[in-house]
Structure 1
Amino acid sequence: MDRYLSFKANACPIISAISILLTGALTGALSVSMTGCHTSRPEELKTEAVTERTPSSPPQAYLKYVTFKNNRPEEDVIDISRWQGLGGGFDGGARSDYLKKFYSANTRSRSNTGLKHEACFEGSAQTLQNLFFNSNDPKNKIAFVIGGYARTRSSQDGLALGISFTEQLKGGPQQPFFFRLQNCRSGKAEIGESRDRRLGQNDFAESETRRLPAAVESSNAMPGKGFMIEDQVQLPAGSRLPAFSLRSDYDRAMLSSSDRPWAGMDIRTEEGAAQFALLVQKHFYEGMATQDSSNSDRNFIAQNNGKRYWCHMPWMQVGESGREAIHGLTKERDYKPSTTMSLYSENTTGTDWGIGYYNGKGCQAIGKVFGTAGNPRGAPDFDQARFEDGTMSVKILFTTAQLKNTQGAYTWNANVSGVGSTARKLQPVQHIQMDISVKDSSLKGARPDVGNWVMLTYYFDPSYNSPLQRDLPGLPSGILRMRPMGVQTGFGPPSQSTQRESIIFQGSQTNGFLGRLNGPADNPKSSCLSCHGTAGLGVAMSPGYIDYVNWGKPTKSKSLDFSQQFALAKRNWETEPK
């Protein structure tokens, strides 16, 4: 029983030092350069005995499972010969074990034996699908999987493979699983940021219970579309929690007027940027933050805004990080106090969740890609993923972390999972960050080489008192503590020059690479524009071990106009097994 074994030294990529070269005003190609075997079911997943060997020639596609011992990566490479049991390779039980390993590596930070782990594939997803998951080849049959084979679907760019299967052990219940396996240069899912935690076999069953029909009264069940299931949560008696409803009547957006009170503003100085930050913050809060003064859970409902039109991005419901049933939150990443700014350093660990909104102009672009609720496209046209001038998008982010030294944050109740697990439960989440993106060439300081996008971040600061309370009476106290952090118009760090590309306001803290704009819920190795700059490229916003070698190599792809939500929706659509 053979196993490839190799070691590589860790590297520390500079993630935010990237430059984006755009051809044809973001309408064409986008190029980025970045500075053993058994026949019975075991009690826990097991690996084969190790025999080191070197393949005679590179396979067309192969699987890679990486574990970390004493911070050294150990690669376990599975080619098609080994997968199909040739020369002492896998049987159906071992294929089942490894399929669960790949699932675990893409949904949990630690293996059953307590080791950090990652999984990916080399080659194209289409080749992997045809070789490893071809249901016409009995050598690919997987034990304990209903039907004998996993269902798969590859992304068009060949960098992701959606894998779905339902397992049933003898005498046990059916357990459905879904995950996306990434190409090694694309990185792993953000669940990889999970806190270190030893996981046992029973955790698989625990994490999947929400996929089964809930035995609750229909009046208390809050359904929200998920992957092959309804996300359901048991609500306390008498609770007034909303049920999330996707707003996708994009045809109304075509008729709506998108007011642009910021048009022509000069944001090249701190004073001008600060005025701009307050103006767009007010623009979003109007009709959104004061919908129900008695119940914070009933604010920020797009359909209830009588002031102006806002909508959501579709196809954000897939997988363990998909939309939850109450507010439509999706998982962003895990929150670590050790990697955020000093104001939040005494908080506990947690998971971060967010929901995005688009104004009329932004919704028009979404409608061109997906169609409308009344007239949906048979298949999305992502070549239409271009936002026009006047587009504004907003994401509000919440965390399950306990805010020890930042109490008083705006709070929702949501059906979300915690650190190191995908099992969801109803729990309070606190609002710590808001991101706003505006695309407008009339802004003095907007840069054509980044599509005239301007990014802003706000964060919860209990010592801050917003001047917006004069213009918007009735704003919740936690919302009044959302402090503008700064404005970013390019990839450069803050400087004293006139043409600054990242302005951090006086008195604010930031969490970005080399002082760039970045919120407390964001990855400190990057910045706002740097993360969004990878949209459509099929590469990780921030790489882990499995992709750090290739992450900085130039690549070409269709731009998705700095929209990570377009990128995720595209990946979800393309990789959902049919």
Structure 2
Amino acid sequence: MGGAAKLVDLNYSPPSGWTGPVFALSQDYPTQLPPATSFPWQTIDFKTLPKEYLQAVLDYCYEGSIDNSFVPQKNPVRKWFHAPWMHTGPNAREFVHGLTNERQSRPFELSDMQNTAHNNAAVGFYNDVGGYTIGRVWADPVHPDPTQASFPEGAVSYKLLFTQAPAAKVPFLAGAPEWSADVNRNPQRPSTAAQVENKKVRLLQIDVAVKDRRADPAGGWVFGTFQYDDAVQDASPWRRVTPVGLAWGNDPTLTETQFNAGNAPAESWIPKSVSLVPGGNATEAERLQWFRNLQPGQAFTPGAQSLDFSLQLGVSIQNFAASITPPQDPSRRALLEAAPSAAPVKSFVEELLKDNIDGAAE
């Protein structure tokens, strides 16, 4: 970002006596589009070899990350970046790893032994191609430009999602990577260093997203999800994950009636069968509005500004706009109107794992 003003890392300081890691926003965004390069998944057909495609993407994300505790500034292999302005709002970053709150896991959602709800939190990363786009949106730290949110081919994002659910209640979490994190913090009663050390979160899920032109005209993105699984044999607990599903479109014409009659989705892959449409009183035709295949620059709501499927950019701009005073400021109104379109479509995998991706923190 050169001489531009520094974007904020956190909105509070670690407690006295804390000697562990402290989150720092990776914000040295490229000012030029990184040179075109080949990626390992480009030779793999995600429609016929979804597991292999997902594994190639995960290996790319993990390289240089695991050994350096997922601190982008320490990665010797490739640069990764965070989305800014996640330090404020109701799901603000905690100070250790920059985790933001996500939707809770409801009772019995993860396991038939999980009889209480458990909080979840996540942190996301973008590769240099994705970081270039974030840098363009935030080139002026006090005037973000959502019209620049068009990610080029090769942009990659991944998210580590953790849960506070214990393995005693969710057996498949046995041996999962653990982090100490200042989750569920109370600003009026800050945690002590010892309390933060004892707040443990465990790896539950990994989401990946790849800008891949082979997904056109379904939107140009391929989305995938992994779940931690203690049954997977690997020396590294970070690699004890199994793929849940992959989507490159939303099957815009597949109705619930057709699915129940045995018609399978053609633009996604998942190891098990699930309902593809949300519940409620909406008609089938109304529900299909959530499964349209929108182009990266096409907003979910006509007249709004698309943020090219980036939830993190959407949240960051919303948080920034909410901080502007006075409320009547026209720039604030414009940003608030543009930001919700960051989630222009509910992808199949994300709909499977989240009730409402419009409210997701990452």
TM-score, scaled relative to structure 1: 0.45
Deviation readout 1:188-247 (Å, 9 max, x if unpaired): xxxxxxxxxxxxxxxxxxxxxxxxxxxxxxxxxxx9522xxx2433556xx5x2111101
Letter in structure 1 aligned against 2:129: K
Give, as a single letter, the amino acid of the residue that structure 1 aligns with 2:175. G
Please name the residue that 2:176 is paired with.
Answer: 409
Are 1:457 and 2:219 counterparts? no
The runs of 5 or more residues in structure 2 that have no matched partner are 1-7, 278-286, 326-362
Please list, as runs of the form range in 1=range in 2, the aligned pairs for 1:194-343 lying within 5 A after superposition: 224-226=9-11, 230-235=12-17, 239=19, 241-251=20-30, 254-255=33-34, 259-269=38-48, 272-291=49-68, 299-338=69-108, 340-341=109-110
Q: Does the CA-based 8 Å contact 1:337-1:349 persist in structure 2?
A: yes
- Which position in structure 1 is the counterpart of 2:316? 569
CA gap of 1:252–1:385, structure 2 versus 1, over 3 A, is closer
Question: What CA distance in whole angstroms lies between the structure 1 residues aligned with 2:233 and 2:118?
Answer: 26
Residue identity in the other structure for 2:40: P
Shift, 1:320, TM fit: 3.3
Q: Which residue of 2 aligns with 1:359?
A: 127
Q: Which residue of 1 aligns with 2:244?
A: 485
Q: Distance in 2 between matches of 1:447 and 1:345?
A: 40
2:275 maps to 1:514: yes
Return the alpha-carbon distance in structure 1 between the equivalents of residues 28 and 149 of structure 2.
17
| Corresponding position: 1:379 with 2:164 | no
Q: Using the alignment, how far apart are the partners of 1:575 and 1:265 within structure 2?
A: 42
Is 1:391 equivalent to 2:155 in the alignment? yes
Query: How far 1:464 moved relative to its partner?
Result: 1.6
Partner of 2:53: helix, strand, or coil?
helix
Secondary structure of the residue that 1:514 maps to in structure 2?
coil
Partner of residue 138, structure 2: 370
Q: Distance in 1 between matches of 2:292 and 2:323?
A: 24
What is the aligned residue count? Answer: 290
Q: Distance in 1 between matches of 2:147 and 2:42?
A: 27
Following superposition, the deviation at residue 251 of structure 1 comes to: 2.7
Alpha-carbon separation, structure 1, partners of 2:95 and 2:231: 33
CA distance in 1, matches of 2:10, 2:293: 26
| Kept in 1: contact 2:104–2:117 (CA 8 A) | yes
Cα distance change on mapping 1:461 and 1:253 into 2, 3 Å:
farther
User: Residues of 2 paired with 1:489 and 1:577: CA distance?
Assistant: 37
Q: What is the root-mean-square deviation of aligned Cα atoms in Å?
A: 3.5
Query: Would you say the 8 A contact 2:203–2:228 is kept in 1?
Result: yes
CA contact (8 A) 1:491 1:530 kept: yes
Question: How far 1:345 moved relative to its partner?
Answer: 3.4
Alignment of 1:466-477 (within 5 A): 476-477=236-237
Matched residue, 1:208: none
Counterpart contact for 2:178–2:200, Cα < 8 Å: yes
Higher strand fraction (1 or 2): 1
Computing the radius of gyration from Cα coordinates, the structure with the larger value is: 1
**Deviation string for 1:395-414 (max 9, x for gaps)?**
10111122321221110000
From 217, 222, 231, the counterpart of 1:448: 217
Distance apart, 1:421 and its partner CA? 10
CA distance in 2, matches of 1:335, 1:290: 29
Q: Distance in 2 between matches of 1:531 and 1:308?
A: 34
Task: Answer yes or no: is the 8 Å Cα contact 2:224–2:245 preserved in 1.
Answer: yes
Residue 203 of structure 2 is aligned to residue 431 of structure 1: yes
Match of 1:501 among 267, 290, 293: 267
Cα offset for 1:558? 1.4
Equivalents in 2 of 1:447, 1:568: separation in Å?
Answer: 26
Instruction: Give the 3-state SS of the residue equivalent to 1:315 in structure 2.
Output: coil
1:353: how far off?
0.6
Comparing 394-403 with 421-430, which one deviates more in the overlay? Answer: 421-430
**Counterpart-to-counterpart distance in 1, 2:47 and 2:233:** 25
Distance 1:438 1:422 in 2: 40
Q: Output the amino acid matched with 1:329.
A: L
Change in CA separation of 1:253 and 1:429 when aligned onto 2, cut-off 3 Å = farther
Counterpart CA distance in 1 for 2:15 and 2:91 is 15
Percent of aligned pairs sharing the same letter: 29
Aligned equivalents of 1:464 and 1:423: distance in 2? Answer: 40
Q: In 1, Cα distance between the equivalents of 2:239 and 2:200?
A: 19
Runs of at least 5 residues in structure 1 that lack an aligned partner in the other structure? 1-222, 292-298, 467-474, 517-525, 540-553
Q: CA deviation at 1:497?
A: 7.5
CA distance in 1, matches of 2:41, 2:31: 23
Task: Tell whether the 8 Å contact from 2:150 to 2:297 is kept in structure 1 after alignment.
Answer: no
Give the C-alpha shift of residue 486 in structure 1.
1.7
| Structure (1/2) with the larger helix percentage | 2
